């Protein structure tokens, strides 16, 4: 089997370790296989691939779409990030809880974040190339988010010895309490 699927403390989140074949020339790996992922219970159809490059200390998130939620299969091609998912499913016993995974180009591990989660990451290396598959298209008018340092969520972001670099938009995201079900 070319993948190992590891369950996480929050139902639906999955860390994935592909089998990496390496030698003196470099390496080869399968980064996705519909057959393998379906056999592990991940049956979503991916419709869009995205990639970003970020410098050390860049924190992107916590983002989600309201009416067009996106599931994401995320990975780091080069560098290292701390990747976080926050459960926004109102009927979930882990609503408002978060889980983080260290992703790196060296380990080639991936993180599956299904629909119903806010997502973000912090770059821990000098730079990082971050790649992700999405289950729905990006709708800019539907984009929303939660403040990255909201005390009600209390994410334990790693201390990297410098102030995090955020977009102005991410600095102004609403608190988690704005997401709570009525």
Catalytic residue annotation: 63, 132
Residue 34, phi then psi, degrees to nearest 5: -55, -45
Find out whether the peptide bond into 62 is cis, omega within 30 degrees of 0. yes
Pull the structure tokens for residue 12.
Answer: 């639906």
DSSP per-residue letters across 84-126: EEEE--TT-TTTT-EEEEEEETTTT-EEEE-TTEEEEEEE-SS
Distance CA 112, CA 42 (A): 9
Pull the structure tokens for residue 70.
Answer: 């996106």
Distance CA 75, CA 129 (A): 9
- Identify the DSSP state of 89: -
The CA–CA distances, whole Å, from 68 to 71, 136, 175 equal 10, 7, 21
Pull the structure tokens for residue 32.
Answer: 């996705």
């Amino acid at each position: 089997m070319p993948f190992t699927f590891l369950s996480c403390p929050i139902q639906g989140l999955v860390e994935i370790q592909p089998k990496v074949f390496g030698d003196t020339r470099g390496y080869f790996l399968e980064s996705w296989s519909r057959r393998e992922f379906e056999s592990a219970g991940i049956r979503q159809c991916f419709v869009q691939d995205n990639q970003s490059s970020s410098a050390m200390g860049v924190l992107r998130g916590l983002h989600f779409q309201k009416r067009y939620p996106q599931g994401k299969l995320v990975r780091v091609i080069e560098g290292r990030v701390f990747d976080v998912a926050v459960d926004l499913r109102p009927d979930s016993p882990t609503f408002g809880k978060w889980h983080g995974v260290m992703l790196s180009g060296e380990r080639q591990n991936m993180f599956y974040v299904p629909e119903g989660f806010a997502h973000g990451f912090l770059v821990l290396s000098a730079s990082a190339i971050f790649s992700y598959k999405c289950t729905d298209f990006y709708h800019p008018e539907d984009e929303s988010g939660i403040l990255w340092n909201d005390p009600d969520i209390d994410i334990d972001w790693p201390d990297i010895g410098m102030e995090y670099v955020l977009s102005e938009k991410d600095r102004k995201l609403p608190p988690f309490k704005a997401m709570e079900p009525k």
